[in-house]
Amino acid sequence: MAVQSNIDSVSLSIEVKSGTDSKGVDTYAKKSFANLRTDVNVQNAYDVAEAIKAILAEPTRAYFLNKDFIVETV
């Protein structure tokens, strides 16, 4: 059986400091931005994440480009 995959959706997530744990270690939560173009250029997504980071009050740690695929038989 042959299968194919197609990108269904793309989102950008940014890890933002949400507090500290009982040992004083920073904790992070992800803020996600959905409905990016499925053909988004990685550099453009990074540039948008940097622009968002610049206006956030809390520090950030990492950016994620999430792609969801539909896998189906052909």
Q: Work out the number of other CB atoms within 10 angstroms of the CB of residue 13.
A: 17
pLDDT digits (tens, 9 = 90+) for 26-45: 999 999 999 999 999 999 99
pLDDT (average), residues 34-57: 97
In single-letter form, the type of residue at position 32 comes to S
**What pLDDT score was predicted for residue 59?**
96
CA distance from start to end of the chain: 8
> What is the tally of structural domains in the chain?
1
Query: Above pLDDT 90, what percent of the chain?
Result: 99
**Angle CA 10–48–30, to nearest 5:** 60
Task: Identify the CA nearest to 32 among candidates 63, 68, 58, 7.
Answer: 63
In single-letter form, the type of residue at position 20 comes to T
Name the residue range of residue 66's domain. 3-73
Residue 18 pLDDT class (50, 70, 90 cuts): very high
pLDDT (average), residues 13-19: 98
Mean pLDDT of the chain: 97
Sheet strands (E) in 1-74: 3-20, 26-36, 60-73
